Amino acid sequence: MKQILIDYYKEFLPLNSNTPKITLGEGFTPLVKSNNFSNKFGCEIYFKLEGCNPTGSFKDRGMFLAVAKAIEKNKTKIICASTGNTSASAAAYGARFNLETIVIIPSGKIAIGKLLQAMVHGAKIISIKGNFDQALSAVKNISESMDFEIVNSINPYRLEGQKTAAFEIVDALGESPDLQFMPVGNAGNISSYYKGYKEYKDKKISNELPVFFGIQAEKSAPLVEGKVIENPATIATAIRIGNPASANLAKEAINKSKGEFLKVSDKEIIKAQSLLANKEGIFCEPASAASFAGLIKKINSGLEVKDKKIVCILTGNGLKDPGNAEKYLSTKIIKTSSDPQSIKNAIVTGNSTSFLKRFF
Ligand code: F0G
């Protein structure tokens, strides 16, 4: 039988005999090679499908460890600020392991699928007039006095758990990829990958680190601009963050790997999301598509990718954000009577142009 993540990578995780071996089936996500785009660009492009985690995003591979450590410390309450996915994950693990779960979210700026997840798992949801950065600052302020365990990525166990994704990629490819593209919001995940690749290199399981490209949305790009963004904005609400908590660790990943932070527009994000859906059969959420948008942007501006192995991290499932998908990616439904002849006519002459084609 397949092992669980906490066992499989135990020698790399901060475990002791009191750490409960919990799981919701996280990790071991597919690394899928793109045939269409690999051929087009003369390289090997892979997509890491983190949307295949149990709550539909990469957060689960950090949450299992943050929650295991909270239980180890006899904590009964967890709390997080979230743009959506962390709250969905915290709510699910909280429900499964009998922890009271509080999530603080920015009002009106969280995709409906994620909000519903927090609701169905029974978390207490507090919606604030403010953005993610303000929610996180409030969480830091109240957690200690109320004896909550914070399960945001400022909790070091989240990063420890999330680094397993880097191990999986090296285990699958037999070496580190040459380049890795990934979305950056609060900057925890890029820091985890860097840590994971570095630990494998230090243990001589791999020889090199990948060059990291951290992709931000144009109007939420504090690490590209080099300053805090007071009012971040983007359709990719998951990465609508103006003051990333793990900025310094992320900068280290970029500097040490000789990579770069890069910004992409909302239009480029939607285009990439649509290409992944239409040419690869992969439906990821807008923030995740930012990684592929970044790759396309770099190739178009002359990045040499010939024969390179490139991984794009697709951090969350497309069904998380049906609102934007319906608005920009859906196609027109052709309506007919039940008469087989009119169905035939519809097949032959009907037009189901996607809204995207009109948008561009
Ligand atoms: N992609 C998705 C789908 C996310 O949900 C997030 C972050 C990121 C990328 C960026 O990762 O913050 O580690 O740089 N979501 C957080 C949340 C902030 O609250 O769900 P990061």
How do residues 317-337 score in pLDDT, each as one tens digit?
A: 999 999 999 999 988 899 999
Among residues 130, 155, 180, which one ends one of the domains? 155
Assess whether the C-beta atom of 222 lies below 6 angstroms from ligand 1. Answer: no
How do residues 16-33 score in pLDDT, each as one tens digit?
A: 999 999 999 999 999 999
* Predicted confidence (pLDDT) at residue 202 exceeds the cutoff of 80: yes
* Predicted confidence (pLDDT) at residue 37 exceeds the cutoff of 60: yes
How do residues 225-269 score in pLDDT, each as one tens digit?
A: 999 999 999 999 999 999 999 999 999 999 999 999 999 999 999
Among residues 131, 155, 179, which one ends one of the domains? 155
**What pLDDT, on the 0 to 100 scale, is given for residue 106?**
96
Atom of ligand 1 nearest to the CA of 191: 13
Statement to judge: residues 82 and 221 lie in one domain: no
Statement to judge: residues 292 and 214 lie in one domain: yes
Q: Average pLDDT in the 98-118 region? A: 97
Statement to judge: residues 209 and 334 lie in one domain: no
For residue 169, report the distance from its CA to the centre of ligand 1, in Å: 19
Statement to judge: residues 206 and 82 lie in one domain: no
Among residues 155, 177, 193, which one ends one of the domains? 155
Statement to judge: residues 285 and 207 lie in one domain: yes
Statement to judge: residues 100 and 217 lie in one domain: no
For the chain, the domain total comes to 3
* Predicted confidence (pLDDT) at residue 290 exceeds the cutoff of 50: yes
**What pLDDT, on the 0 to 100 scale, is given for residue 350?**
78
Statement to judge: residues 151 and 163 lie in one domain: no
Cα 310 from chain centroid (whole Å): 17
Assess whether the C-beta atom of 117 lies below 6 angstroms from ligand 1. Answer: no
**What pLDDT, on the 0 to 100 scale, is given for residue 354?**
61
* Predicted confidence (pLDDT) at residue 2 exceeds the cutoff of 90: no
3-class DSSP state of 144: coil
* Predicted confidence (pLDDT) at residue 51 exceeds the cutoff of 80: yes
- Whose tokens are 């900057």? That residue is 187
CATH number at residue 144: 3.40.50.1100
For residue 170, report the distance from its CA to the centre of ligand 1, in Å: 22
Atom of ligand 1 nearest to the CA of 82: 19
Statement to judge: residues 164 and 260 lie in one domain: yes
For residue 237, report the distance from its CA to the centre of ligand 1, in Å: 9
Statement to judge: residues 171 and 290 lie in one domain: yes
Atom of ligand 1 nearest to the CA of 285: 3
Burial 86-124 (b: 16+ CB within 10 A, else e): bbbbbbbbbeebebebbbbbbeebbbebbbebbeebebe
Assess whether the C-beta atom of 187 lies below 6 angstroms from ligand 1. Answer: yes
For residue 61, report the distance from its CA to the centre of ligand 1, in Å: 13
In the structure, what pLDDT confidence band is assigned to residue 357 with cuts at 50, 70 and 90?
low
Statement to judge: residues 217 and 243 lie in one domain: yes
DSSP 214-254: EEEETTB-HHHHTS--SS---S-GGG--SS-TTHHHHHHHH
Statement to judge: residues 174 and 248 lie in one domain: yes
Residue minimizing CA distance to atom 4 of ligand 1: 238
For residue 305, report the distance from its CA to the centre of ligand 1, in Å: 27
Assess whether the C-beta atom of 223 lies below 6 angstroms from ligand 1. Answer: no
| pTM of the predicted model as reported, rounded to 2 decimal places | 0.96
Statement to judge: residues 264 and 279 lie in one domain: yes
**What pLDDT, on the 0 to 100 scale, is given for residue 60?**
98
Domain containing 336 equals 330-359
Average pLDDT, the chain: 96
For residue 136, report the distance from its CA to the centre of ligand 1, in Å: 13
Assess whether the C-beta atom of 243 lies below 6 angstroms from ligand 1. Answer: no
Burial 145-178 (b: 16+ CB within 10 A, else e): eeebbbbbbbbebbbbbbbbbbbbbbbeeeebbb
